[in-house]
Structure 1
Amino acid sequence: MSVGNQADLTVAEFIESFAVDPNTRVITAYIEEYQDGRRLFETIEYARSRGKEVILLAPRAGEAVGRSVASHTGSMISNEDVLASICAELDVVRVRGIGDLLLALRGIDAPTRAGGRRVAVVADGGGAATLATDAAIAEGLEVPAFSAELVRRLKEIAPNSSVGNPVDLVGALDLGVFRPIIQAIASSGEGDAILMNGAFNNVAGASIEGECAVAANIRNICSQSGIALSVASTLTGEPAMTALARDRVPVFDFPVEAARCLELGRKRLPKRKLIANRTTRLFVGEVDYLASRTALAGAGVIFSKAVYARDADEAARAAHSIGYPVVLKALGSLHKSDSGAVVLNIRDEVTLRSKLESLSNELRPTGFSVEEMVVEKDAIELLIGGVRDPAFGPTVVVAAGGTRTEIWRDRVVALAPVDEDNALRMLNSLRIAPLFGGFRGSSRIDLDVVAKAVTAVSRFIADHDNVSEAEVNPLIVGPTRCLAVDARIVTAL
């Protein structure tokens, strides 16, 4: 079914129609343009709720979310970041070529689909075991060590072989040798799939009917145990291999294909469900620096103390009310740190007046913000941002923050809004996540408080149709406090 430029019916509408068709099992869609990306993924969720699998054949999307962005957030993420993140969150089958599409279809059509990512590798030699294991791990599958009990049972069957997962049956070329091993693994409950790699040629001289019967028995063992089976064989033309293929068991020449078929064909395990957008409205407030702080504070983000000052006398009074040391920011610059508009750790009034005079002469600011100097032991700087993607709508980004955030490029993006559980999952997905739990003697931070801030920003961008960007950077997170010290809101013209 061709939808052209979706000027009339959209891809989402076709998926919704096929979702209720009793004769449809799998829906595939080739997509280049996402007119309403959120609607598309809501429809995919609906189709899967009705027992239909959906495969997206979607080439890489490389355009920046916005060519002209005011925030660090907008400059860090692309359409591909958003698309890849949504597919990962919702565990949607996304392929980029016809070859992978065919592998996915074979995996979905197999007698049994893997219910998880645990794979038992069974091979006829050390090299074959290593290649199959490497192929599985490369696909994001797991090859966990077997329990001591299962190892004991396998050793009784093959005392001279390595059986810890992968299983290396030394010199076992005949398929019948593998049957008791497959039976033991399948009945153990310690795997979601079995990946076999080897020659599997009939050197024992069994009849063709006998070999095919063994193949059928192995297939039935796996199916009855609810685990998937995928086979890589150097001799795919052997009668047993062709018998497996006739029974829809995926059989390939190489373990890379067999492993990818398992990954693409497994049952999907979404990390979240999309949260329905509440009734949206227009943001009607100002979007200057202090107004942005106030608006995001109203949404639930906790900020450091800040007082507006027009001149040195007002700045001195503000600093006295806050308490030294303070931070002085000259207002009117888009990226204040880049333009030298931020002075940290001012400890007395004399220094404050001197710095304010210098900033006045150099930058001609519209005013000043005198702020609490946030000092936290073992503090971590994070960025929380929201961007309204033209294809997918409101998104929220969590990243390693501060002035070097574009360099670190350690970020996670999700469709907004998110709840606190999903905010925690996003935070724990960052590369810097080990720092949160206390690294090499540093203090632990309260991630629950950070998750509340992520949720607040996500709801703010989702709730206001005319907000194109919203950002807190940095959010200073320590063992005792979590405070935002800078903010930006951009509205659509």
Structure 2
Amino acid sequence: MPSSQPLPPAVEALLADGTTALIRPLAPGDRAAALELHAVRMSEESRRLRFFGASRRAPEQAADRLCGPPRPGFLALGALVGGELIGVVECDAVQGRPEAAELAVAVADDWQHRGVATLLIEHLVHAARAQGVRTLEADTLAGNRSVHTVFSDLGLRVRRHLAQGEVRVSVELDESDERYRSAVDLRGRGADVASLRPLLRPGAVAVVGASRRAGSVGQAVLGKIRRGGFAGRVWAVNPHAREVAGSVAYPSLAALPDVPDLAVLAVPAGAVAGAAEECGLAGVRALVVLTSGLDGDQARHLLDSCRRHSMRLVGPNCLGIAQTDPDIRLDAEFGARQPRPGTAGVAVQSGGVGIALLGQLDRLGIGVSSFVSLGDKYDVSGNDLLQWWESDGRTDLALLHLESFGSPRAFSRTARRVSRTMPVLTVDAGRSPAGRRGAASHTAGAATPTVTRQALFTQAGITATRGIGELVETAALLHAQPLPGTRNAVAVLSNAGGIGVLAADACADVGLELPPLPAPLVAELLAVLPAGATATNPVDTTAAVGPKELRACLDLLARSGAVEAVLLCLTPTALATDPEHGPLRALLDGPARGRIPLAAVLIDQEPPVRCLTAADGGRIPSYADPQAAARALAHARERARWLAEPPGAEIPVPDCDPPRARALAEHFLRTHPRGGWLDPDAVTALLECYGLPLTTSIWARDEHTAVLAASSLRQLGHEGKAVLKAYWPQQVHKSDLGAVRTGLTGEQAVRTAFREFAGRFGARMAGAVVQPMSAPGLELLAGVVQDAVFGPLVLFGMGGTTTDVLDDRVARLAPITEPDVHAMTTGLRATPLLFGYHGGAAVDLTAVRDVLARLSRLAMDLPQLAEADLNPLIAGPHGLLCVDARVRLEPRAPFDPYLRRLRRPLPT
């Protein structure tokens, strides 16, 4: 393991029981703790299993080794809880084999079987990979079942060799091992859910800061907890009162009859940190901080207390939480309404949005399983709650309003899994204005925050709406109706032609299709509808339609297979609005309901959306506007399409050379510490590491070298004409600047072009690139941008000189999968050109897939890659060829988005 690599940073992560542990490198100052761990906190049997004997000096030798001066190839990590060292892991480079390292782990007896060793090894795996280690090896006793279980359950490939009672274990560190990532996910989910139980299933709650003042937040929350029928015990804490709202008040946490699982803090900002520390010392395991206005120091002290004492934190600056499980019935929030019990999980950052959303869901009859107002989101996040809802056995619909993402790739991975089992809806809040970043490539210019967020939502199967109204409209449909099929065929029925036309237009606006109905079906429909009806789709039933006819019409459509959803639009005639005998009753109680999704449009209803309830309890959403109904159906169709796609795995990319790419990046950044654009030779070398198809390019710093380069192209078999491109580091859009000359034949043409460039661009011109003329083809763009929050984003679209004018691109977050590539190649407006439009030659889509996968892998392997722009890629039936590429590097440390750790936001 190279000694030049920096030590991994200290991070906090959850053990299997939900306890927060600090994982950090050991230092000389930890020697006494390491000695105590081995000599006192491990039994004689544990020491025998660790050291293969009962040597009295083994604990001292271990402490000296773990906490000695830094030495090449050695790394030791410790796990600390509440400042106490409870476990250690170490690895030491194998002599003569830099890709291998020896591993050993030890855990205090009273902390065994709580996931300490596994968590330490996960973090060691991450650090070892960053230092070039590919195999971890360990010698264990055959009877050490605990450590063998740890290795078996890691999710990595493990080989064992038994000799004379000892087992040699080898663990392979495959960087793209999906089995390992899934195993880490499973462990992380279990730890996360365990840590949230005191928050969402507490047995006792204390309201700290419950005031005697009527109308105060603390008193309001205390009152709601009591009125809501909380199944556990609830106490008020107020050092200045003996009684609050008729309840006994205690002066401190220490004075309570027992330790609460959850404390709700409604104290002034200056008192929050002290109250949190008091809670931690008392043994509280979760906090909800309602207080707003914390400054940076107050916020850091709050979070420090929570992490040090293993408390999960909601807030600060939040509305509170609610858990409607009949066994809990906790309503610890100060909204006006008590949340209706149900099966929708709701998480919001804005308290105001939370109040509005709960109110609208209540009017629809949609109850919540749990509600969490995240506030400033220092700790508990949308990712945590998705994992809770996935495991709680009650939630079947997730609604999120998130203004920021702490760990988008972890969120995306969780959401991809959860979305397979329940709809996950969000409001795409904080969309930036349409426009460009101040970037220096087509790729970076296209990667706006909006594009990045949309890529995350699309890949994760999240239904992203543009506002609370649209979120509620869609929730009403997804909560009450089955999903449509994937053929995108909708029927519109109306009792007035005009509203039917409006509904048809609304469907077209969101990409829903109204296919002509088959002739036999048309005949059947006309046979049951009143005279004057038409059945071309939209189906105009006329205002004279009665319940019997409409019921038969709906049943025919549902059974026909010709359409996959029905939109019924009714104007307020006497027949339509009769609640007992009109078409609405036919819609609710007819046999068609439940076969395909049905939605109603009642243009005279007052609420924008409501749910109609049938005699058997079934529900159908009803909208005041056909556009709202069409939007909801479109979201349902997209969910159905996403579910129909296989989950997909990262596309394997053979014949890559990540070590060489890292070495190239490190060499460049040593000479350019602040980063910058690679010169053409370095671009070629880097792209070659990943087999990306860059055309033959020769870098020429002067006129004479350019002439020789053109001559050498002919010697290499390029018999056609040459291209000359002027180059300087900050150059953008060569063609726009007149920095490209094509069709050059002979020495004099090359000389003339070079001299023209030198005269026009002067001293800023560093030289020129000489290339052969490429065959004609479709010009495409492929690129990568590293987003500081979301990670690498892969873009694909139409390229060449018109790329910004056409603005036809799609994006996906890396790593990309087979379904991602399919969506990218079929998601452009110009997609028909890829498949051979009007007799043209189809593009080699296998080559496109390969380029996108290699770019994705390059970006994942090389965090220093700030942006790469391959434009244009000349595409034809026999492959792709990149004729121009730009790459920019920045100094960045490796980041593993799948490593288990708690976020450490920097509160302001």
CA gap 1:151/1:174 in 2 versus in 1, 3 angstroms = closer
Q: Compute the RMSD of aligned alpha carbons.
A: 3.2
Alpha-carbon distance in 2 for matches of 1:65, 1:212 = 46
Q: Secondary structure at the match of 2:828?
A: coil
Percent identity of paired positions between Structure 1 and Structure 2: 28
Tell me how many residue pairs correspond in the alignment.
484
Q: Which residue type is aligned with residue 620 of structure 2?
A: V
Q: Which residue of 2 aligns with 1:320?
A: 711
CA gap 1:160/1:466 in 2 versus in 1, 3 angstroms = same
* 2:851 aligned with 1:453: yes
Of residues 527, 533, 538, the one that matches 1:166 is 538
Deviates more, 1:392-401 or 1:252-261: 252-261
Q: Which has the higher contact order (CA 8 A, sep 6+)?
A: 1
* 2:557 aligned with 1:185: yes
Alpha-carbon distance in 1 for matches of 2:403, 2:853 = 31
CA offsets 1:345-387 (integer angstroms, 9 cap, x no match): 21110121222233344434333322111132xx221111101
Q: Which residue of 1 aligns with 2:775?
A: 375
* 2:509 aligned with 1:134: no
CA offsets 1:396-441 (integer angstroms, 9 cap, x no match): 1112212332222111111123245533431332222233344455
* 2:727 aligned with 1:331: yes
Q: Secondary structure at the match of 1:412?
A: strand
Of residues 123, 127, 130, the one that matches 2:494 is 123
Alpha-carbon distance in 2 for matches of 1:85, 1:204 = 43
Deviates more, 1:385-394 or 1:158-167: 158-167
Q: Which residue of 1 aligns with 2:662?
A: 283
Q: Which residue of 2 aligns with 1:342?
A: 740
Of residues 394, 398, 401, the one that matches 2:792 is 394
Q: Which residue of 1 aligns with 2:327?
A: none
Q: CA deviation at 1:45?
A: 1.6
CA offsets 1:177-203 (integer angstroms, 9 cap, x no match): 211111111111222221111237554
User: Where do 1:348-359 residues align within 5 Å?
Assistant: 348-359=746-757
Indicate conservation of the 8 Å contact 1:175/1:202, yes or no.
no
Q: Which residue of 1 aligns with 2:634?
A: 263
CA offsets 1:226-284 (integer angstroms, 9 cap, x no match): 211111125659xxx96559742112333223333333456543257474599998733
* 2:492 aligned with 1:104: no
Of residues 857, 860, 863, the one that matches 1:462 is 860
CA gap 1:153/1:486 in 2 versus in 1, 3 angstroms = same
Q: Which residue type is aligned with residue 380 of structure 2?
A: L
Alpha-carbon distance in 1 for matches of 2:600, 2:576 = 20
* 2:808 aligned with 1:410: yes
Indicate conservation of the 8 Å contact 1:328/1:342, yes or no.
yes
* 2:429 aligned with 1:59: yes
Deviates more, 1:334-343 or 1:479-488: 334-343
Q: Which residue of 1 aligns with 2:188?
A: none
Indicate conservation of the 8 Å contact 2:427/2:465, yes or no.
yes
Please list every run of 5 or more consecutive structure 2 residues that lacks an aligned counterpart in the other structure.
1-371, 669-677, 715-719, 892-908
Q: Which residue of 2 aligns with 1:10?
A: 381
Of residues 685, 691, 710, the one that matches 1:300 is 691
Of residues 559, 580, 584, the one that matches 1:208 is 580
CA gap 1:63/1:458 in 2 versus in 1, 3 angstroms = farther
Q: CA deviation at 1:157?
A: 2.5
Alpha-carbon distance in 2 for matches of 1:22, 1:298 = 48
Alpha-carbon distance in 1 for matches of 2:636, 2:841 = 43
Q: Which residue of 1 aligns with 2:399?
A: 28
Deviates more, 1:114-123 or 1:332-341: 332-341
Q: Which residue of 1 aligns with 2:457?
A: 87
Alpha-carbon distance in 1 for matches of 2:573, 2:838 = 54
Q: Secondary structure at the match of 1:269?
A: helix
Q: Which residue type is aligned with residue 322 of structure 1?
A: L
Q: Which residue type is aligned with residue 781 of structure 2?
A: L
CA offsets 1:427-465 (integer angstroms, 9 cap, x no match): 332222233344455443323322322222222122211
Of residues 416, 419, 423, the one that matches 1:45 is 416
Of residues 559, 564, 569, the one that matches 1:197 is 569
Indicate conservation of the 8 Å contact 1:64/1:79, yes or no.
no
CA gap 1:236/1:492 in 2 versus in 1, 3 angstroms = same
Q: Which residue type is aligned with residue 445 of structure 2?
A: S
Alpha-carbon distance in 2 for matches of 1:202, 1:243 = 20
Please list every run of 5 or more consecutive structure 1 residues that lacks an aligned counterpart in the other structure.
none
CA gap 1:98/1:354 in 2 versus in 1, 3 angstroms = closer
Alpha-carbon distance in 1 for matches of 2:622, 2:835 = 45
Structure holding more strand per residue: 2
Deviates more, 1:131-140 or 1:152-161: 152-161
Deviates more, 1:390-399 or 1:478-487: 478-487
Indicate conservation of the 8 Å contact 2:496/2:571, yes or no.
no
Of residues 227, 231, 239, the one that matches 2:596 is 227
Indicate conservation of the 8 Å contact 1:123/1:197, yes or no.
yes
